[in-house]
Amino acid sequence: MKRSKRYIQALNSFDKTKLYEMNEAFDIIKSLPGTKFDESVELHIRLGVDSRHADQQVRGAVVLPHGTGKQPRVLVFAKGEKATEAQNAGADYVGDDDLAEKIQKENWFEFDVVVATPDMMKVVGRLGRILGPKGLMPNPKAGTVTMDIGKAVEEVKAGKVEYRLDKNNIIHCIIGKKSFEKEKLIENLKTLIDAVVKAKPAAAKGKYLRSVVLATSMSPGVKLNTNTLVE
């Protein structure tokens, strides 16, 4: 892959082999050549687990204290009082079979997060092959299948992010924007790391946090010292 001059300049501005402390890593990220838009700041966490085994899955959700810098569009599958509750909490779209049909027939995806009440999972289940590959399928572990629908919507709007392993045993998660104050990014990073550590499966053996890389959406990653990330 051919890299831009900006990317190469960024790559040569720090030691790619060094493990940096959190403060220094954020200083590097902040100092890298910017783009015309406010880049997302991402965390990539490689874990010492095997996602092929059910007892070594790592998945959950956590509310970042300062959000991600993005206002997510929330779609809710609910009926009656729960639909009203979702609307009052700020959901962008609320419905049931009508929304499912719109997704199926119109390939409609004007939303970022899907939340559903348990009784609506029969409807949502029909969308598994569509929502699943996009990471949009609601899940009880992520708090997106719940009767407390108002709270779920409010948490998503407040900066709740879902984390899960990919097939390479890596968690990829946005923790803010490059324009955020460093202290806010640090608090978001610590919150995510703490949640992932608490979600460590009992079956996981050896070193759990294998590597943690901090990056912006358009720049190379900075490796963090995993030994000092967990207090």
Q: Where are the domains of the chain?
A: 14-67+160-228, 74-158
Core vs surface per residue 96-133: b (16+ CB within 10 A) or e: beebbebbeeeeeeebebbbbbeebbebbeebeeebee
What is the band of 141 on the pLDDT scale with cuts at 50, 70, 90? confident
User: What's the pLDDT at 219?
Assistant: 87
As a whole number, mean pLDDT of residues 48-74 equals 92
Out of 3.30.110.30, 3.30.190.20, 3.30.379.10, 3.60.9.10, which CATH number does the structure's domain 14-67+160-228 have? Answer: 3.30.190.20
User: What's the pLDDT at 18?
Assistant: 93
200, pLDDT greater than 90: yes
What is the band of 142 on the pLDDT scale with cuts at 50, 70, 90? confident
**Topology match between the domains 14-67+160-228 and 74-158:** no
User: What's the pLDDT at 6?
Assistant: 75
CA distance 190 to 54: 26
Percent of the chain with pLDDT strictly greater than 70: 99
What pLDDT digit, counting tens, does each position of 75-120 carry?
999 999 999 999 999 999 999 999 999 999 999 999 999 999 999 9
User: What's the pLDDT at 83?
Assistant: 96
The answer to whether residues 163 and 143 touch, using CB atoms and an 8 Å cutoff, is no
CATH superfamily membership of 74-158 = Ribosomal protein L1/L10, domain II (3.40.50.790)
